[in-house]
Amino acid sequence: MKALFILLLVQLCSASLVPEREKDPEYWRRQAQETLQNALRLQRLNQNVAKNLILFLGDGMGVSTVTAARILKGQLQHGQGEESLLEMDKFPFVALAKTYNTNAQVPDSAGTATAYLCGVKANEGTLGVSAGVTRDHCNTTKGQEVTSILRWAKEAGKAVGIVTTTRVTHATPSAAYAHSANRDWYSDGEMPPDALEGGCKDIARQLVENIPEIEVILGGGRKYMYPKNVSDVEYPHEEKHRGTRLDGRNLVQAWQEAKPHGKVAEYVWHRRGLLALNLSRVDFLLGLFEPGDMIYELDRNNETDPSLSEMVSVAIRMLQKNPRGFFLLVEGGRIDHGHHEGKAKQALHEAVELDRAIGLATRLTSTQDTLSVVTADHSHVFTFGGYTPRGNPIFGLAPMQSDVDRKPFTSILYGNGPGYKIVAGERENVSAVDFAHADYQAQSAVPLRQETHGGEDVAVFARGPMAHLLHGVHEQNYIPHAMAYAACIGSNRGHCNTAARPATPPLLPFLGLLLILLC
Ligand SMILES: [Zn+2]
C-alpha cells in the first residue's frame, strides 16, 4: 500500500515536471522541422579559406561532462536544464575522436596534445615528439621532434596565441611549442640530473626560446620563470610559490628581451593590469596570473585573476590586428583537475566557463573566415544517472534509494577516485553530508587518491570554413591536419592556389563573355 502511494506520488510529480509546451506534439514537430531546414542549408558547404583558426580544448571534457555542463548551464539560468544549449552545441558539425596514446589505451594529456596539435600520435607523458621517444629518456628525443599547428600558423605569417587556465607550461599548451620526453619538466628545477646533462631543455625555457614571436600567452605558471627561492610577487611570504629555476635566469625578462627592436612586449600578472592595456599599442603579451595553475572559476578572486572569457577576449582582440589572420589555442584546463579530485561541481563550472569563452569568441569572429573547433583530450570516469526526473538538480540525489544497501545516492558518481567512503563498514549515507558543496567529492566505486581519465572517444565540434572535414570517427591526430588544410597552412597546401576553392566568385569568365557580347 505504502509502495503504491509512493509510486502514485512520483507519477503525479513527474507529470507536473513536463513544461506545458512540451505536451503539444506540434512543439516537437516544429522544432524537428527547423532542425531539418538548418541541416538542409548545410548542404551548401562553407569552402572558404579559414583566415583564422581557434582550437578550444576542454581538458578531460568527455561527453558525460558536456551533457552535465549543459544541464548545469540551463539550471544556472533557472531552466530545467536538459533543454538548454551550450555554445558548442550550436556548432553544426560533430565528430568523434579516438584518444588512445601509442602506448596507452586510456591516454594522458601530453600524448593527446601531441596528437591534436602536432598531428602525430605519441606516447603518454611525452610532448611534441614522436612515439620513438620513451617517457623520461632525454637521450631518445633528438631528431624525434614534431611541430605543431601553432608553428605552422606562425610560419605562414599569422599571429598566434595560447590561453589556458593551467600553468602555461602544462601539457596542453606546451605541446604547441615544446618538445620534451617528460611533461613534468616545467623548469630545470623539476628535471633529473641526467636529463640536464643530456642537453634536454625545460619547458619554460622552450616557451621563451623555441617560437619567440608568440603574440599572446595567458595563464598561470609564474614560478617556473624565476630563479630558485625568488619570492612570488603576489604571495611574497609563501615558500611553495617561490621560483624554481636552477639556472638563475629570469625568463620573463628573457621573453621581453627576445622581442625585435621597436616592438612593445607587455608582461602582466594581475587582472587589472590585463584589462587596462591599450591593446592597439601592444605587440606581444605575456600574462601569468598565478604561480602555478589558475584558481578554479568558482573560487576565483575577481580582483586579481581574469576569467577564461576575459583572457580570450583580450587574446582575440590582440590577434585580430594581424591582417593575415591568427591561430589561437584556448584551454579550459581545470575541468580535468576538478574530476581528478572527485569534485564534480568544480569540474562542471570550469566547463561552463569554457563554454562562455566559446560564445564570446563566436561573437568576436565570423564563420565566413574563422574555423572554430571544440574538443577534449580525453574523458574521465565521470557519470550521472539513476533515473533522475526532468529538471533534477545536476548535483542532486537520484529519486530512489539503493535496493541493496537501502541508502540514497547522488546522480553524479565516479568509477574511481577519492570520493569512495565507508562509514562503520558501510557506504556513507549522503543525506548526512552537503553534497551540493563546491568541494564535495562524489562517491566512487574504487578508492583512489586521484580519479582517473576515461578511455572512450571524445566529441569534436566544428564551425566555419571546412568544418565538414570533421564528420565521423577520427583518430585524434587528424584534427590539426583538417584545420591546417582549411587555413592553407602547414604541409598540405596543394589545393590552395587552384580554382577548386575560389574565395570569391570568378570574375574573369564573366568579363570575357561581356567583351564578346560587346564586340
Ligand atoms: Zn588529467
At 348, the pLDDT band (50, 70, 90 cuts) reads very high
What are the beta bridge partners of residue 94? 461
Residue 391 has pLDDT above 50, yes or no: yes
Do 471 and 93 meet the contact criterion of CB atoms below 8 Å apart?
yes
pLDDT for res 7 = 42
Write the DSSP assignment of 158-179 as a string of letters. -EEEEEEEEETTSHHHHTTT--
10 Å CB burial of residue 52 (0-12, 13-18, 19+) is buried
Give the distance (Å) from ligand 1 centre to CA of residue 50: 31
pLDDT for res 279 = 98
Distance CA 95, CA 463 (A): 12
Distance CA 309, CA 330 (A): 10
Fill in the amino acid letter for 172: T
Angle at 269 between CA 263 and CA 273, to 5 degrees: 70
Decide which of 497 and 451 is more confident: 451
Pairing of strands 379-380, 453-454: antiparallel
Fill in the amino acid letter for 289: F
At 505, the pLDDT band (50, 70, 90 cuts) reads very low
Give the distance (Å) from ligand 1 centre to CA of residue 417: 12
Distance CA 126, CA 484 (A): 23
pLDDT for res 67 = 98
pLDDT for res 513 = 53
pLDDT for res 16 = 73
Across the chain, mean pLDDT equals 94
pLDDT for res 14 = 56
Do 123 and 101 meet the contact criterion of CB atoms below 8 Å apart?
yes
End-to-end CA distance of the chain: 96
Give the distance (Å) from ligand 1 centre to CA of residue 465: 31
Place of cell 617517457: 135
Give the distance (Å) from ligand 1 centre to CA of residue 325: 32
What are the beta bridge partners of residue 101? 104
What are 153-211's pLDDT values in tens digits? Answer: 999 999 999 999 999 999 999 999 999 999 999 999 999 999 999 999 999 999 999 99
Give the distance (Å) from ligand 1 centre to CA of residue 109: 6
Q: Give the percent of the chain with pLDDT over 70.
A: 93
Residue 430 has pLDDT above 90, yes or no: yes
Distance CA 282, CA 159 (A): 13
Residue 504 has pLDDT above 60, yes or no: no
Binding-site residues for Zn(2+) sit at: 59, 336, 340, 377-378, 453
Instruction: Residue 154: count other Cβ atoms within 10 Å of its Cβ.
Output: 22
Distance CA 49, CA 495 (A): 10
Residue 422 has pLDDT above 80, yes or no: yes
What are 105-132's pLDDT values in tens digits? Answer: 999 999 999 999 999 999 999 999 999 9
pLDDT for res 314 = 98
Do 479 and 452 meet the contact criterion of CB atoms below 8 Å apart?
no
What are 103-112's pLDDT values in tens digits? Answer: 999 999 999 9
Distance CA 108, CA 122 (A): 10
Question: How many helices and strands, by DSSP H and E, does the chain display?
Answer: 15, 19
Give the distance (Å) from ligand 1 centre to CA of residue 336: 5
What are 272-327's pLDDT values in tens digits? Answer: 999 999 999 999 999 999 999 999 999 999 999 999 999 999 999 999 999 999 99
Binding-site residues for Mg(2+) sit at: 59, 170, 172, 331
What are 5-63's pLDDT values in tens digits? Answer: 444 444 445 557 899 999 999 999 999 999 999 999 999 999 999 999 999 999 999 99
Give the distance (Å) from ligand 1 centre to CA of residue 110: 9
Give the distance (Å) from ligand 1 centre to CA of residue 324: 35
pLDDT for res 497 = 81
At 511, the pLDDT band (50, 70, 90 cuts) reads low
Give the distance (Å) from ligand 1 centre to CA of residue 108: 6
pLDDT for res 15 = 57
Do 331 and 166 meet the contact criterion of CB atoms below 8 Å apart?
yes
Do 204 and 251 meet the contact criterion of CB atoms below 8 Å apart?
yes
pLDDT for res 517 = 55
Give the distance (Å) from ligand 1 centre to CA of residue 158: 31
Distance CA 203, CA 184 (A): 8
pLDDT for res 514 = 54
At 500, the pLDDT band (50, 70, 90 cuts) reads very low
Do 457 and 473 meet the contact criterion of CB atoms below 8 Å apart?
yes
At 502, the pLDDT band (50, 70, 90 cuts) reads very low
Give the distance (Å) from ligand 1 centre to CA of residue 124: 11
pLDDT for res 491 = 92
Q: Give the percent of the chain with pLDDT over 90.
A: 92
pLDDT for res 5 = 45
Give the distance (Å) from ligand 1 centre to CA of residue 207: 22
Do 328 and 316 meet the contact criterion of CB atoms below 8 Å apart?
yes
Give the active site residues: 109
In this prediction, residues 490-507 reach a mean pLDDT of 67
Helix (H, G, I), strand (E, B) or coil at 165: strand
**Length of the chain measured in residues:** 519
